Amino acid sequence: MQVITDQVQIAAIVKGKAINELQMAQALCAEFDNSAFPLRDTLRTIARSALKTLIQFNTYLKDLKKYPETAKVVAGVYVKESKLKILTGVVNKDAAVDIVLDSISSKLNTLFEAPPNTQGIGEVVRLFAGVCEEVKKTLDGLRKTNSSNPEIAAVEGLAFVLKSDNTVLSSFHDFCGLLGAYRTTDYGSLAFAPSSRARSAPDFNGRVIDRDIAVLLNPSNPTAPVAAGNTFFAPLLKGDVVRCIDEILGLPQGASISGTTSDTIWTLETLANMLYGNHSADRNLLLLAVAAIVSGYHHTTVEVGLTLSINYAPDLAYQPAVYTSLQDSAMLGTPAGQRIHAILAQYENAERNAYVYIVSDNSGNKTLYLIDKNNKTEVDQYKAAVTMNFVNYKKWQRISNSVLFSKEALKSELVPTLV
């Protein structure tokens, strides 16, 4: 294990890791966009189902006398998400609710007829998940204040038509019954607790980022600020567990664990199960979240991997920078899984993708411990320390609450062999 104290060299290693991760996600996104990719048609079917459901829901909600609270909330989601590429120029935030619903439905109909690329599908799923989450919150709130409010039963009983043959698959209440289930487990409850997350106020005008990253994101205009919704629009603060993981493992700093990302994964899994039967859909579909969200700079890989780990550990427990750990054995056994694995392995083994620990002293100076990727013992110890299972997550939380991300804190919790 090499010890590096040169601050410029440390910054260069961290930057190289960030570039490698973005390139990995972009390569994965390109594979999902490939017309020969085995899951391409499945993802388009899922996207069209989500679009058809939103269009139908908007039609119901235009009866403002019957669904006033819900209509207002859904229109608010569309305004909030108006910076998504699929909604560019569509939403007038000052327009009346019914106008917003109409303009959105018109755009969604266009997307239904000509499904977007992988990043666009990711945005469709994100939008769908956002509507479901906010409507469920609204109904829960109405139930607490006035359980006899007729809007509750009216909206919960709305039938969602998800298939092209107009088969009714679920009511809104049943469909969203498992929304947020990942947060009710011990692991999910801790990871999503206020004590685990700390972000600054969002800068919705975007933030200027490193030029080398910007060139990868927007080759035609790399000096432009990155729009809201990217990983840097709400910088993480001290005490955030993901920030602690990012800094110690030299990862690109993102937006912390996210309900949006989690709900995206929930939507993909739920729609896939409804359309293709429980447990019959290829779980590699879930890696759309990496392909679309990380390549679009909305979140980082560790944020998506942490969410997957909360849902699927111990079979799938992400190890930051070990990209092949985004798949479990069942995911490897499909044609799509094999193609995805090849990309993950390529960038996992890239020279830029260093395995590191970084600690700080009282002056803010950093020390980087560079793991020899040819040393099996060192690599195995790294993988064991960074595996995103519940036991390790609790250790990361304790480290994040320490004064410094120090060598002593790291040794006592995760890496006793650190010298």
Condensed to tens digits (0 to 9), the pLDDT of residues 15-33 reads 999 999 999 999 999 999 9
So what's the pLDDT on residue 358? 94
CA angle 347, 351, 353 (to 5 degrees): 55
The residue with greater pLDDT, 398 or 219, is 398
The rounded distance, in Å, linking the Cα atoms of 12 and 22 is 15
- A 10 A CB-CB count for 203 gives 13
Q: pLDDT (tens digit, 9 = 90+) per residue, 168-208?
A: 567 777 777 667 766 778 999 999 998 898 887 766 666 66
* Residue 100 CB neighbours (<10 A): 25
> Look-up: residue for tokens 């004590």?
195
Question: Where does the pLDDT of residue 332 fall: very low under 50, low under 70, confident under 90, or very high at 90 and above?
Answer: very high
The per-residue pLDDT of the chain, averaged, comes to 87
Are 394 and 53 within 8 A, CB to CB?
Answer: no
The stretch 329-353 carries a mean pLDDT of 96
| Nearest-angstrom CA–CA distance, 64 and 102 | 13
Beta strands in 148-304 (DSSP E): 159-161, 168-171
Q: What is the mean pLDDT of residues 400-405?
A: 74
- pLDDT tens for each residue of 227-277: 545 556 677 888 899 999 999 999 988 888 877 788 888 888 888 887 887
Handedness of CA 77, 78, 80, 85 (dihedral sign): positive
- Model confidence pLDDT, tens digit, residues 284-298: 999 999 999 899 888
Specify the pLDDT at position 224: 72
Q: pLDDT band at residue 360, thresholds of 50, 70 and 90?
A: confident
Query: Quick one: pLDDT band at residue 165, thresholds 50, 70, 90?
Result: low
Q: What is the pLDDT of residue 263?
A: 82
Q: What percentage of the chain exceeds 70 in pLDDT?
A: 91
pLDDT, average across residues 354-359: 96
Quick count: other Cβ atoms within 10 Å of Cβ 64?
15
> Would you say the C-alpha torsion 10, 304, 51, 27 has a positive or negative sign?
positive
Output the CA torsion sign for 268, 305, 284, 346: positive
pLDDT of residue 47: 93
H or E element: which one contains 416?
Answer: none
Confidence at residue 154, expressed as pLDDT on a 0 to 100 scale: 84
Max CA pair span of the chain:
68
